[in-house]
Amino acid sequence: MSRTPLVAGNWKMYKTVAEAERYIQALLPRVASLEGVEIAVCTPFTALQAMVDSTRGTRVGVYAQNMHEAAEGAFTGEVSAPMLVELDVAGVVLGHSERRQLFGEADRAVAQKVLVALQAGLRPILCVGETEEERLAGDTERKLRHQVQEGLEHVPQERLSEVAIAYEPIWAIGTGRVATPEQAQEAASFVRALVGALHKGLDEQVKVLYGGSVNPGNAAELLALADVDGALVGGASLDAESFAAIATAARDGAG
Ligand code: PEP
């Protein structure tokens, strides 16, 4: 079955509101006629409202990069699903390796967040991936199995396909060391099979993205892979022209 690819730009902690406005005005005309691909920008919290307003009626969706699993509470510095929904945000990146490694985000919290996001009407992008040490030790599949099974643990079976899963080898994030097409395909197909084991048939529907040093030069090859349904793009998404080129490669590689 053909799955509509999703290309999501993870801005991380880049772009003030003024910079985001300039960027989106450069991006929108470049993707206005790109059919057959979903495009999202995952912006800092501070730029969400401005980007939702500036992209209304366009083919660009706006995602957050994280959220807390509780609806409200004494959690200084955090933002909840209802707060994102109020802004009309479409989805949220969950369990990014930078959140897990730098901010101690635990698998258990990520699993809770995935469920809460879905219940609130936000589309989650669940990030999974192995470290270089784990890959060298032959532990990639064990790590992916653990993160996928735990991340999807609370999701009702019939909603599993609403979670996009981003396979992001940690050694490829922000390093310029992209996975080979063989590595990306093998891992994406393994992730898809894990979803199939949770609910037969949904593996064909779930979107599996690749993330890790995707750029306009390598996107076409990665996005043409049978089990790769799009990309989560960090650095190369910060420039509107290169992000639009990656989205175009996803459209061309679909099917
Ligand atoms: C990311 O932030 O998820 C990412 C993949 O970053 P980069 O594209 O810069 O490697």
Q: Does residue 30 fall inside a structural domain?
A: yes
Distance from the CA of 170 to the center of ligand 1, in angstroms?
9
Q: Say whether pLDDT at 1 is over 70.
A: no
Name the residues annotated as catalytic. Answer: 96, 168
Q: Does residue 255 fall inside a structural domain?
A: no
Distance from the CA of 73 to the center of ligand 1, in angstroms?
31
For 78-137, write each residue's pLDDT tens digit.
Answer: 999 999 999 999 999 999 999 999 999 999 999 999 999 999 999 999 999 999 999 999
Distance from the CA of 195 to the center of ligand 1, in angstroms?
23
Task: Give the total number of structural domains in the chain.
Answer: 1
Report d(CA 89, CA 101) in Å as an integer.
25
Q: Does residue 110 fall inside a structural domain?
A: yes
Q: What is the pTM of this model?
A: 0.97
| 166 CA closest ligand 1 atom index | 3
Q: Does residue 128 fall inside a structural domain?
A: yes
Q: Does residue 253 fall inside a structural domain?
A: no
Q: Does residue 190 fall inside a structural domain?
A: yes
Among protein residues, the one with the nearest Cα to ligand 1's atom 7 is 234
Q: Does residue 247 fall inside a structural domain?
A: no
For 150-180, write each residue's pLDDT tens digit.
Answer: 999 999 988 999 999 999 999 999 999 999 9
CATH at residue 143:
3.20.20.70
List the domain range (segments joined by +) for residue 224.
Answer: 6-242
Report the share of the chain in percent with pLDDT over 90: 95
Task: For 210-225, give the DSSP string.
Answer: EESS--TTTHHHHHTS
Q: Does residue 44 fall inside a structural domain?
A: yes
